[in-house]
Amino acid sequence: MITLNPKQESIKRAAKEFVAQTIIPKAAAYDKSGAFHSYLLEAAKPTNIFAMAVPKEYGGLGYDSMTQALVLEEWGYGCAAMGTTLSASILSMESVLIAGNEDQKRRYFAPMLRGEIGAFGLTEPGAGSDVGAGSTTAKKIGNEYVLNGAKCWITNATFASVHLVFAQTDPSQGSKGLSAFIVEKGTPGFSLGDVEHKLGLRSSNTAFYAMKDMRIPAANLLGREGDGMKIAMKTLDTARPAIGALAVGVAQRALDECVAYLHGRFPGKPYPGQSLQFQLADMRIQVHAARQVVQDIMLLRDARQPFSIESAMTKTFCTDTAMQISAQAVRLTGSYGYTSELGKFMRDSKIMQIYEGTNQIQRLVIARAVLAPAPAVPQALKAGE
């Protein structure tokens, strides 16, 4: 177990308290209504938590990665939808942290310092896993870029003050022609489309939007033209462990709720049979291991070590764990689980295996690393010896 410093301990405690008082009491009702509520942003404003990833020099809380993970796990424990509102906003600003200049950083982070949120616009109807297949274009005309196209499944899109939008500056180049732009709320030509009704994460906002002859200043280009793919990949590498942290929270919550029910169902009989005991033990092992995987990568990130493969492994392992444990919790609690909030954890987990890079794409990345270079095999095991 990784030891937390006193500051991290106190931030974790504060997050737990915030979640208990602000998130948990509202989560079920907001899940039911399926609509995003500005309640969360209002309630979080005094804590400045939406600026937790903004560096101190820009006025943010400047939490290190480990500390961000502690907060996100607590938010995932309370409500993965509300946690996703937070993590998706951080995702959008990671791109600016990675590739933005001073002016861009100040402009992009300003809303977050006011408790507002950002949105990361990469996915398109024809470009999901195949990021380079996007058809949104950005054409430079004078001192402006003119954007045309559509984005879908964008978390926070309806309520974001700032958007990170990816578009082709040179469509003939495919993924090498992709560029990243900052788009501010209210830009003419930007129109919001359908809000998705989703299986889970229902109280997080997910929407389509279209851009028609939308003009933005050339100064809103992140890095150079053609840097978009690199920026997107690096952003997702950096942000994915956050999904792992949320997933650990979901898994822990599902296990806790399952155990609480079993205690009530078998009063005075603390050990309800080995079959059940062993399943609960396995669930606990998985949650514990998932948490360690998150903390491990956060240590790497904070130590500025490479963590790309670990990022893919963390997201995959933790979200698969959340899915498995939440489904098991529903099954083991029978009709009670089926008619209680336990179903929400199962519905929420399903999406986490898909968004921010499906777990299949992560496995491709991991497999590439496993296979190259070929591992050194001990002499005695070589064929023919």
Active site residues: 356
CB of 321 vs other proteins, minimal distance in Å:
13
Q: Which is nearer to other proteins, 127 or 248 (CB)?
A: 127
- Up-side HSE of residue 152: CA atoms within 13 Å toward CB? 12
Residue 176 binds other proteins, judged by CB under 8 A: no
322's tokens: 């959340």
- The span from the CA of 92 to the CA of 85, in Å, is 11
Please select the residue that binds other proteins; options are 55, 59, 62, 128, rule is CB under 8 A.
128
Residue 197 binds other proteins, judged by CB under 8 A: yes
Determine the 3-state secondary structure of 106 from DSSP.
helix
- The span from the CA of 240 to the CA of 355, in Å, is 10
Q: How far is CA 362 from CA 93, 228, 241, 323, in A?
A: 22, 20, 12, 16
For 13, other C-beta atoms within 10 Å of its C-beta total 12
Determine the 3-state secondary structure of 201 from DSSP.
coil
Hey, which residues between 269 and 308 contact other proteins (CB under 8 A)? Answer: 269, 272-273, 275-276
Residue 265 binds other proteins, judged by CB under 8 A: yes
Residue 166 binds other proteins, judged by CB under 8 A: no
Contacts with other proteins, 44-83, as mask; x by CB under 8 A: ----------------------------------------
* Window contacting other proteins (CB under 8 A); options: 89-97, 221-229, 292-300, 350-358: 350-358
Q: What angle do CA 379, 383, 385 make, to 5 degrees?
A: 65
Q: Which is nearer to other proteins, 30 or 50 (CB)?
A: 30
CA distance from start to end of the chain: 42
Site residues (vs other proteins, CB under 8 A) = 123, 125-130, 133, 152-153, 193-194, 196-200, 208, 262, 265-267, 269, 272-273, 275-276, 323, 327, 330-339, 343, 346-347, 350-351, 353-355, 358-360, 363-364
